[in-house]
Structure 1
Amino acid sequence: MRALALLLLVFPCLPAWADECDQLPLPAVTVKRLDEPFTLSTKYSYKALTNLATTLTRPGNQVLGLTRGNAIVRFAIDTPSHIDRTGRWECASPQLTMTFGFMPMTVHVAKEFPAGSCAYREIYDHEMRHVQTYQAHIAAIEKELTEALSRRFATGAPWRGPAGQTRDYLQRELDERWMPYIKRAIGRVELAQALIDTPEEYARVAASCDGEISNRTR
């Protein structure tokens, strides 16, 4: 943005071009949170789920249920613009839409535990805590992300610089700076998820339902 600012200082802004720029919409940021329903799967055995979760669980633990969410960040850019009569300079008004969340999200309950059984309910209820943690985290960071993007891009006036370069500049900054930043913010959810899967919680679920779970996983 420093380069664009310097160009603005040296460019003789003609009144007619200024009028055209004033007709552009103000730069704007829109943030959309994905709120898709999760999918329930009971096709995998607890052994298969344990293999799927090797990087997420402590060695020796059997995974009876698993919630997996794929983090999504998408940017859509529109840049209504006006090029001055020399063809060298433009004013452009970035209209940025960022969509983020988890999609798809799948809740797995091991197939050894039939729906309606006590063990199924215990495992399903545990996984719902993970689902709710994902959803709560996305809702919690929405304001933070909206404010950060708005401070940078909703500048109150069109951007000015060399003709045809604003959109490429914007895309490059989104890819190099903002995409990693937003992914890191989403990734903080794993700290909260780890607090759910404590040794005490594993032991509680395994011991529930009068031994039903341990009997089915021998």
Structure 2
Amino acid sequence: MRVLAFFLLVAVAEAGADECAALPPPSVTVKQISAPVTVNPDHDYRAISLLSTQEHRTNQRVLGLTRGTARVVFEIRAPAIVDRTRQWECVSPQITMSYGFSPMTVYVAREFPPEGCAYREILQHEQRHVKTYLDHLAALAPELTEALQRRFATGTPARAPVGQTRALLERELQERWMPFVQREMERVRSSQALIDTPEEYRRVSESCGGEILRVVR
């Protein structure tokens, strides 16, 4: 999911060669979106298996599934000064990027009531996936902050012909930085795959005195 908000505040400079010095330095702030995790017990294991097949291309019987939607939001405040000839402008982008997996939903097959052993085993397994999502987001924060600051927190405002700054900034964020951030977020899939090993599938399936195997057979 991509969201872009842009605010441009413009003043007109009356004179002098130091108009841009009146602007604050460009800045970048990176925030992690905090989203509650919802547990959905309304689907049977066949429906959950179909959801998993669409996402992970697995033929396993799936008893639980964790899904997170990558969300990236850029908010830009861009105080600007236009010189008195109205031929050029200097702009100081103040960029805030928020990112996270929202919504995040844990599915547990409805064949297993919440008070039962099987439900607890499946939920505990899915909580490992939730933790992996959250750990991945936390690990990305320094990398994303460094990359965006290197590009935008240059120490001095940018200069461009009047009317071009907004379009250039929007285009770069949409075409370069949103895909970059989303790609970095999607790298979590390799870590998630390490949890869903054949051994772990077998352990969960055979837990609770065979309760799960009796259902899926």
Taking structure 1 as the reference length, what is the TM-score of the superposition?
Answer: 0.90
In 2, Cα distance between the equivalents of 1:142 and 1:90? Answer: 32
Aligned residues: 204
Which residue does 1:111 correspond to in 2? 110
Q: Report the CA distance shift for 1:196/1:135 in structure 2 as closer, same or farther (over 3 A).
A: same
Q: Which amino acid aligns with 2:34?
A: D
Matches within 5 A, 1:11-160: 16-55=15-54, 56-59=56-59, 61-160=60-159
Q: Report the CA distance shift for 1:15/1:27 in structure 2 as closer, same or farther (over 3 A).
A: same
In 2, Cα distance between the equivalents of 1:214 and 1:42? Answer: 19
Q: Which has the higher strand share?
A: 2
- What do the CA deviations read for 1:198-217 (whole angstroms, capped 9, x no partner)? 11110110000110001122
Which residue does 2:4 correspond to in 1? none
In 2, Cα distance between the equivalents of 1:43 and 1:91? Answer: 55
Query: Is it true that 1:168 corresponds to 2:188 in the alignment?
Result: no
Q: Describe the SS at the equivalent of 1:75.
A: strand
- What do the CA deviations read for 1:78-106 (whole angstroms, capped 9, x no partner)? 11100001000101101111110000000
In 1, Cα distance between the equivalents of 2:17 and 2:180? Answer: 35
In 2, Cα distance between the equivalents of 1:136 and 1:162? Answer: 43
Q: Describe the SS at the equivalent of 1:112.
A: coil
In 1, Cα distance between the equivalents of 2:136 and 2:161? Answer: 40
Q: Which amino acid aligns with 1:139?
A: A
Identity of aligned residues (%): 57
Which residue does 1:9 correspond to in 2? none
**Structure 1 runs of 4+ with >4 Å offset:** none
Gaps of 5+ in 2: 1-12
Taking structure 2 as the reference length, what is the TM-score of the superposition?
Answer: 0.91
Gaps of 5+ in 1: 1-13
Q: Report the CA distance shift for 1:142/1:191 in structure 2 as closer, same or farther (over 3 A).
A: same
RMSD between superposed Cα atoms in Å: 1.4
Q: CA deviation at 1:21?
A: 1.3
In 1, Cα distance between the equivalents of 2:161 and 2:57? Answer: 52
Q: Which amino acid aligns with 1:82?
A: I
In 2, Cα distance between the equivalents of 1:113 and 1:18? Answer: 72
